[in-house]
Structure 1
């Protein structure tokens, strides 16, 4: 089932999400619905707060990035068929050089900006079967995970922009909250009060 994606301005996107237990109600169905929602919106990641749930759950499928010819072959291989569910994730460490990459977000349609993040991250989490994992990722894979992880910490990519850039984007962000933006997937806008 395709769920509406929560737009910028909704308080749920600013909450630090809570860990969940294995008996979380209909978790398997929720994960399935989140995959459907993400693919319907042509996303490569989706976090539970983006569908209105302040829980520590997000997913990533970087397969669409794997045929980017500008990437090295090693990175293309890492991105190909990488599809993972992260439950109760916590970043252990972020290291390496900071690098900028143009990011966007399903909750903030029509805005893309360069965001600097560390190159490498180690993260501990539970997979979809609640098996504990601790893994290290780098490059674009790390960046996608960092972006989704930020959602469960109540952080948006626009928070990482300069004060000037935030000021320049302010009216566009307010318009997104009001639903004054063209999207081709279902959204719920906090200042409009109805999903499309």
Structure 2
């Protein structure tokens, strides 16, 4: 079935090639037959983990995010390496950032955080059966680990302590999966 809103790529030009992001400028044919320009970022994709402790608390991290010049409270997440399996990435990121490994993993869904200017996707996982084995932070990575109940996390969204969109989206999944919806 043809989507009447589809925009067909006519040309594509790389504008910037970076370590994390690649920026492109495409000329497209619009649904009315005219042409337009679309600038966007290609991103390798990422994962987010909702780690659930045996006592029901969730593991968050507090991390400084340079573009906004402040620390944010967020669920563990990280970028996919080239050709990396999404579950392998989720396991790696959980251990590296929080120091925990999980025995029970479930893929919950996907989110697209920046649909207006990026093809980034974030695969959401739930991890239970956690065991602390020690973190393995990347060079130059500094984090604080924070434990919150689902109710505390919800309150943190509504009082402005959690503003990260991937974390807010994942908390919807957590509420459903943990019986709080």
- TM-score normalised by the chain length of structure 2: 0.27
Structure with the higher fraction of residues in strand conformation: 2
Structure with the higher fraction of residues in helix conformation: 1
Tell me which of the two structures has the higher relative contact order, counting C-alpha pairs closer than 8 angstroms and 6 or more residues apart: 1
